[in-house]
Structure 1
Amino acid sequence: MAKHIYTVKGSGDFPIDMLRYDECWPDQPADAEAIAPGNREIRYIKLLSDRYPTVHRWESFCWTVSAID
């Protein structure tokens, strides 16, 4: 079971490599669908992980991390 639940916010291409880097995965099917390439809208994606998110690395891709549980 995931120890950390957090939300990332951004627009444009989702930094897909961050899923590997932070060892995280989308919480719900809707979160997985929001990762699809070509989406330019601002969106919030809930992620689960056993590790604490690397906030500064997300920011380097112009995505912010919030609501860390």
Structure 2
Amino acid sequence: MPSAVIKQFVVEGAADFPLAMLTADECWPARAADAAAIAALQLGVGAATPPRKIILATVSKYAPNRQRWIAAGWRVIA
């Protein structure tokens, strides 16, 4: 059986991070810094900051779902 291929993508946004998208796209923060950035966004730390870039990893064949990210107020940039 072939092993799963982990791919990464980058999302950008300034609103609360859409945690439900982690489940929808079967993804997770790629680095500890990305997990910390998500936590800071959820807590409202730096609410008046410019958009943040978060690197996510996934093994899903169909992720990321760009339209869902846009609907959640974020966008896939890479």
User: Which range, TM-score by smaller chain?
Assistant: 0.7 to 0.9
Deviations 1:1-57 (A, max 9, x none): 543210000012100011011100001110001112114231000000012201000
Q: How many residues align?
A: 67
Give me the whole-angstrom Cα distance separating, in 2, the residues matched to 1:23 and 1:7: 14
SS in 2 for 1:25: strand
More strand, by proportion: 1
TM-score (norm 2): 0.77
More helix, by proportion: 2
For the Cα contact (< 8 Å) 1:55–1:65, is it kept in 2? yes
Instruction: Kindly indicate whether residue 56 of structure 2 is the aligned counterpart of residue 47 of structure 1.
Output: yes
Which 5+ residue runs of structure 1 have no aligned equivalent? none
Give percent identity, aligned residues only: 42
Instruction: Kindly indicate whether residue 23 of structure 2 is the aligned counterpart of residue 23 of structure 1.
Output: no
Give me the whole-angstrom Cα distance separating, in 1, the residues matched to 2:26 and 2:69: 13
Moved over 6 A (4+): none
Larger Rg: 2
RMSD of aligned alpha carbons: 1.3
Which 5+ residue runs of structure 2 have no aligned equivalent? none
